[in-house]
Amino acid sequence: MPNQTIKTPCIGLCSTVYGDLVCRGCKRFHHEVIHWNGYNDAEKQAVWLRLEQLLVQVMAGKVEVFDAHALRAQMLARQIRFAPHQSEYCWAYQLIARGARVINQLQAYGMVLLPEFRDWSLPELRDAIDREFFLLSEAHYQRYIAPSFLKDALGR
């Protein structure tokens, strides 16, 4: 994203205001939500990269993107917002998140559900993806972030 301001991952469903340590909407950590506007581009990019990696991990376990060009064309045609520099699996998430109730043929979008999910409805899959993405973000927070916050609080 050279020469571009990195925008926020916020989707307008912030749960950190209710005390969550990980936002159920964008999956950022509470301190990232609070301090986002003070972050430099490198700090913001690091958050975006972590979110992308976790989302790709979830999506690759549920769908196969076999034609990224078709998916991109459909995203543009349907005016679904996506970050072109991100993985096509992030695009697939945006498509499912925005169109779960109206999409009939995923193949037309350059992707298919993996065999174990082919009997799932897209709204059901979308909700499962969102839950797993949140759980991975929460686990990452507990494993890598919470211990350092505790250490700082105890002055060690």
- What's the confidence (pLDDT) of residue 16? 84
Angle at 55 between CA 54 and CA 60, to 5 degrees: 105
Residues of the chain below pLDDT 70: 1-6, 149-156
Looking at residue 18, what is its pLDDT? Answer: 84
Q: How far apart are CA 43 and CA 6, in angstroms?
A: 10
- The candidate with the shortest Cα–Cα distance to 55, out of 95, 2, 15, is 95
Q: Is the dihedral of CA 56, 50, 102, 117 positive or negative?
A: positive
Residue whose token pair is 């699996």: 89
pTM of the entire structure?
0.89
- Domain locations along the chain: 53-154
Which residue in the block uniquely carries the two structure tokens 């939500």? 33
Q: Are strands 111-113 and 63-65 parallel, antiparallel or unpaired?
A: antiparallel
**pLDDT score at 3:** 39
Nearest C-alpha neighbor of 86 from the set 113, 65, 108: 65
The residue assigned the tokens 């507990």 is 142
Per-residue b or e along 27-60, where b marks 16 or more CB atoms closer than 10 Å to that residue's CB? bbbbebbeebeeeeeeebeebbebbbebbbebbe
pLDDT tens-digit series, residues 112-150 = 999 999 999 999 999 999 999 999 999 999 998 887 765
Contact 14, 26 (CB under 8 A): yes
How far is 109 from 80, CA to CA, in rounded Å? Answer: 12
